[in-house]
Chains A and B, each alone.
Chain A
Amino acid sequence: MTAIRFEKVTKHFGDTVALDDVSFNVDPGETVVLLGLSGSGKSTLLRHVDGLHKANAGNVVTLDTDLNRARGTRLRQLRRRIGFVFQQFHLVGSLSVLENVCTGELGRLRGPRLGLMTYPKKVRLEALGHLERVGLAKKAFQRADTLSGGEQQRVAVARALMQRPEILLADEPVASLDPESSGQVMRLIRDIAGEQHLTVLCSLHQVELALSWADRIVGLRSGNVVLDEKAGNVDHHRAATEIYGRGALAASG
């Protein structure tokens, strides 16, 4: 059984081809990093996993659900099992940190929620637990937009945990962060993935970080898979050439 299966996935936006015949699998519990330049199709591919984008051709099968067919309730049920961490955090800035974490539970709750007190106490307690885990329980009642970038991303991780996910997707989770916060967030995601046996599919653009972090590397270039190997077998220079083109080698000396 595989957690995520891409079969000849093709996606274009107008005349721009974002994904061109992409195929590979991600096994349960595996940590896979998508490497590539911006515009190489990483984010687009990630968004296919939980149906935020639909493929023009080919199949995406996530947790035995065919994304071409899933819609409505079935799609939402699938999304509940998949946590998503975005580059720009995507917290609701005017809501409190705790409420933002609670929104991870919306998929399981009936009806809309307006205000922290409308979430059941049990949910709030669980959310506090996740905030504790990411080290931000003290700031639970602050407005989310008063936090630093690194803190906001940790809140986003807690929100993903609130879904009790089986898969964690992360789209350039540290691209907007300073080196220290980056390290914190990446360690946090790896530790949590280990503790909870999560399948992780994460896009990055730094080769070095990816090699030290992932089980496996998948390289994308202009929508094509140009590299798919165990992290241990990947040669740094070769990876850079494949993914970033010849210019990268010349530039890095």
Chain B
Amino acid sequence: MTTLTRPGPRLATLHRPRIRSVVAALVLLAFLGLTVWAFDDLQINVATLVDSAHNAVDFAGRAFPLTFPPVSEVLRLTGETMAIVICGTAMAVVISVVLAVLAAANTTPHPIVRYVARAVIAVARAIPDVVLAALFFGVFGFGALAGILAMGLHSVGMVGKLYADAIEKIDEGPRSAVRAGGAGRFQELITGVLPQVMPAFVATALHRVDINLRTSVLLGFVGVGGLGFEISNSLQTLDYPTGIALALIVLVLCIIVELMSGAIRRAMLHPKTTAPLARTSGQISPQWTFARIRKAFYVLLTVAIVVASVWGAHISPGQVAGALTALGRILPQSWPPSFVPGLFSALWDTIKIALASMLIGIVLALPLGALAARNVAPRAARYFRVLIVCIRGIPELVLGIVFVVITGLGPVAGALALGLSTIGFMGKLVADSLEEVDRDVEQALRATGAGRFQVFVTATLPQAAPAVVSHTFYQFDENFRSSTLLGIVGAGGIGFQLLEASRVLEYDVIGAIVVLTFGTVMVVELLALGIRRVVR
């Protein structure tokens, strides 16, 4: 037996890296380098912020005291905004259910159909709703329809994907039991699949209502009616007291809707376990218990709200038909796309905004998220969670307006506004990923006497890293789309070009913008896919 005192010169103590991981690491490094460069290039630094401080004071002087419109007016605007949001989401849900059934591996009639459906969903995701709205706006004129269609079609990108994923995750057992009983395909879907995916469907739809409420306000800037339209008008006429007052109303509305959808979600998905319903002999239908009445009430309420929204948005079948023919007339005009000068540099600005906001967001979200994870900071976690929820609650639009006013028009405002909202989203994802790691590994390390920070670095972080990296790419996707949106309130970039083009009805330019944003999102998604394969 030989005694091994120290490894010989030929005994490698580090394994040779695989080419795939090297490439992935290089891509990640390049991404990081680009991000830092973008941050620097936009000249986001303390000096800029200090310079802007007097702007803020100046602005405050002009904005306060706020002037709130009369209550009836506020209610009318809120109703209009909500009607658009609900109609758009309802439309997305209807389309998504059909697409998801076609796109899920276990319910699709044919693999080719599946790929087509998946592609349609991906395309819907890649074209920002504001771009669609700008395109439709010239077609349908002012009013609700352009906004509803834009929102409804773009939302399919998220809702359809999540629905298809939910269908793919079901337990096939009940479904094969229904099939074994001789049920047809449609019966099988309704009885074997739908009850299982219902909770996920409802949760996703409600979540989308929250998101769409935020974008609907931005859509106001390209001409979609409601609160956003009024904010846009006020700001353009330099009526800051009214504009900021309305933005404040949006903030409150977002919080109310988020609270309500949370309550509905909980009531529908986690019914409190009531005492078992014993059946007395002779009874052939269940008794109307409180839980059952409440559930029926929610279902009826949902139907009533959707109906009221369709009515409230003044949509008639004739109008929709007219819009569709108009669309058929307009679409040819947007092709071939015309890549006017300045478009590429505007796209580049938008990408820079997205990158810089990522840097701000992640640098702050990592510590914040870690502190909000129960297994990392057991005592403080609760408070940091609340903080994250509060940051998430503020719509990007409100942040955008505030920063545009403080730092002036331009990309810096966009990057700061997006950065702040990124903290809210990434913070939650980081905290969730950290909490989902295997606790036993942490415990094993703690048992060896490792300190809390050592445990975090050695056991918790490596386990959560793949999820955090893939969330980061997803977030970049989101930020790219959002920075397009923010261009519209004056944060520069391609959104600004979009606004200009939609004002003068240059459909070929809008077409070019569609192509550019779509291409960028697809490149990012492919990169993310490649990286995720390696970082696992």
Which A residues contact B (CB, under 8 angstroms)?
A: 50, 52, 76-84, 86, 88-96, 103-104, 106-109, 111-114, 116-117, 121, 124-125, 128, 137-142, 146, 156, 159-160, 162-163, 169
Q: By the criterion CB–CB under 8 Å, are B279 and A106 in contact?
A: no
Whether B181 lies near A107 (C-beta < 8 A) is yes
Q: Which residues of B contact A116 (CB under 8 A)?
A: 285-286
Alpha-carbon distance between A142 and B274 when the two chains are bound, in angstroms: 10
Question: Please, how many angstroms separate the alpha-carbon atoms of A128 and B282 in the complex?
Answer: 10
Give Cα A196–Cα B189 distance, bound, in whole angstroms: 31
- Interface residue B501 (Cβ < 8 Å from any Cβ of A): no
Beta-carbon contact of B191 and A106 below 8 Å: yes
Asked if residues B284 and A128 are in contact (CB atoms below 8 Å), the reply is yes
> What A residues does B281 contact at CB under 8 A?
137
Known contacts A92-B191, A116-B285, A124-B285; decide if A84 and B196 are in contact (CB<8 Å).
no
Cα distance, A84 to B286, chains bound together (Å) = 27
Contact A94 B276 (CB under 8 A): no
Q: For A108, give the chain B residue with the smallest CB separation.
A: B182
User: Are A125 and B284 interface neighbours, CB within 8 A?
Assistant: yes
For B284, give its contact among A50, A121, A162 (CB under 8 Å): A121
Chain A residues in 8 Å Cβ range of B191: 92, 95, 103, 106, 112-113
Q: Mark B283-300, 1 if CB is under 8 A from A, else 0.
A: 011110000000000000
Q: Which of B61-69, B170-178, B221-229 contacts A (4 or more CB under 8 A)?
A: B170-178
- The one of B174, B184, B190, B276 that contacts A91, using a Cβ cutoff of 8 Å: B174
B198 sits at the interface (CB 8 A): yes
Whether A52 and B178, one on each chain, are in contact in the complex, defined by CB atoms closer than 8 angstroms, is: no
CB atoms of B190 and A95 under 8 A apart: no
When C-beta atoms are compared, the residue in chain A nearest to B280 turns out to be A138
The answer on a CB contact under 8 Å between A84 and B181 is: yes
> Is B190 a contact of A113 with CB atoms below 8 Å?
yes
B198: A residues at CB distance < 8 A: 94
Q: CB within 8 A of A159: which of B176, B177, B189?
A: B177
- Output the least CB separation between A189 and chain B (Å): 16
Other contacts beyond A111-B186, A116-B286: 4, CB < 8 A: A86-B173, A86-B176, A138-B278, A160-B181
Instruction: Give the residue of A92, A96, A112, A156 whose beta carbon is less than 8 angstroms from that of B286.
Output: A96
CB of B180 within 8 Å of the partner chain: yes
Given A50-B180, A79-B182, A103-B178, CB of A139 within 8 Å of CB of B187 = no
Would you call B182 and A141 a contact (CB within 8 A)?
no
Is A76's CB under 8 angstroms from B184's CB? yes
CB neighbours of A121 from chain B (8 A): 284
Minimum CB distance partner of B184 in chain A = A76
Q: Evaluate contact between B279 and A140: CB separation under 8 angstroms.
A: yes
How far does the Cβ of B217 sit from chain A's closest Cβ, in whole Å?
36
**What distance in Å separates the Cβ of B83 from its nearest Cβ neighbour in chain A?**
27
Question: Which 3 pairs across A and B sit closest by C-beta, in order of nearness?
Answer: A107-B182, A80-B182, A112-B190
Please determine whether B195 and A141 come into contact, CB atoms closer than 8 angstroms. Answer: no
A76 vs B179: C-alpha distance when bound (angstroms): 8
Q: B279 to chain A: which residues have CB within 8 Å? A: 137-141
Pairs across A and B, CB under 8 Å, 5 listed: A52-B176, A112-B190, A117-B285, A141-B277, A156-B177
For B186, what are the chain A residues with a Cβ–Cβ distance below 8 Å? 111-112
List the B side residues contacting A80 at CB < 8 Å.
181-182
* A95 and B192 alpha carbons, distance in the complex (Å): 10
Asked if A114 and B181 sit within 8 Å, CB to CB, the answer is no
Chain B residues contacting A128 (CB-CB under 8 Å) are: 284
Q: Are A142 and B277 in contact (CB under 8 A)?
A: yes
Q: How far is the CB of A11 from chain B (nearest CB, A)?
A: 17
CA–CA, A128 and B284, complex, Å: 8
Shortest distance in angstroms between B457's beta carbon and chain A's nearest beta carbon?
41
- The listed residue with most B CB atoms (<10 A of its CB), out of A76, A91, A111, A112, is A112
Whether the Cβ atoms of A163 and B183 lie closer than 8 Å is: no
B181 and A90 contacting across the interface, CB-CB below 8 Å: no
* B183/A103 in contact, CB under 8 A: yes
Contact partners of A169 in chain B: CB under 8 A:
180
Report the bound CA distance from A141 to B177 in whole Å: 20
In angstroms, Cα B176 to Cα A84, docked, is 10
Nearest Cβ in chain A — how far from B297, in angstroms? 15
Please indicate the chain B residues that have their CB under 8 angstroms from the CB of A79 in the complex. 179-182
Shortest C-beta distance, B313 to chain A (Å), equals 27
Q: Is the CB of A90 within 8 A of B174?
A: yes
Residue of A nearest to B191 (CB): A103
* B286 with A94: CB separation less than 8 A: no
CB contacts (< 8 Å) of A52 on chain B: these are 176, 179-180
Is A92 a contact partner of B195 (Cβ separation < 8 A)? yes
CA A103 to CA B198, docked complex, whole Å? 18
Given the complex, which residues of A lie within 8 Å of B285, measured CB to CB?
116-117, 124
Residues of chain B within 8 A of A96, CB atoms compared: 286
CB A240 to nearest CB in B, in angstroms, measures 30
Assembled-state Cα–Cα distance A142/B291 (Å): 13
Given that A103-B191, A112-B186 are known contacts, is A92 also in contact with B179, CB under 8 Å in the complex? no
> Given A88-B173, A106-B187, A139-B276 in contact, is the A95-B182 Cβ separation under 8 Å?
no
Q: A92-B195, A128-B284 are in contact. Are A114 and B180 (CB under 8 A)?
A: no
CB-defined contacts of A113 to chain B, threshold 8 Å:
187, 190-191
Inside 8 A of A82's CB, which chain B residues have their CB? 180
In the assembled complex, B194 has its CB within 8 A of some CB on chain A:
yes
Q: CA–CA, A220 to B157, complex, Å? A: 49
Inter-chain contacts of B183 with A (CB < 8 A): 76, 103, 106-107
Chain A residue at minimal CB-CB distance from B199: A94
A249 CA to B174 CA, complexed, in Å: 38
Closest to B299 in A: A115
Question: What CA separation (Å) do A243 and B178 show in the bound complex?
Answer: 32
Query: What chain B residues lie within 8 Å of A86 (beta carbons)?
Result: 173, 176-177
Which of the listed residues B181, B192, B194, B284 has the most CB atoms from chain A within 10 Å of its own CB? B181
In the assembled complex, the Cα of A226 lies from the Cα of B277 at a distance in Å of 49
Give Cα distance in the complex from A77 to B277, angstroms: 35
- Please tell me if the beta carbons of B284 and A77 are within 8 angstroms of each other in the complex: no
> B177 is contacted by which of A90, A108, A117, A142 (Cβ under 8 Å)?
A90
In the bound complex, CA of A169 to CA of B177 (Å): 12
**Chain B contacts for A124, CB-based, 8 A:** 284-285
Contact across chains for A114 and B177 when beta carbons are under 8 A apart: no
- In the assembled complex, the Cα of A200 lies from the Cα of B104 at a distance in Å of 35
Give every chain A residue within 8 A of B284 (Cβ-Cβ): 121, 124-125, 128
Complex interface: chain A residues within 8 A of B187 (CB): 106, 109, 111-113
On whether the beta carbons of B196 and A92 are closer than 8 Å, the reply is yes
- B466-496 interface bits toward A, Cβ cutoff 8 Å, 1 = contact, 0 = none: 0000000000000000000000000000000
- Nearest chain A CB to B377 CB, angstrom units: 36
Q: How many whole Å from B189's CB to the nearest CB in chain A? A: 7
> Which residues of B161-213 have CB atoms within 8 Å of chain A's CB atoms?
171, 173-174, 176-184, 186-187, 189-192, 194-196, 198
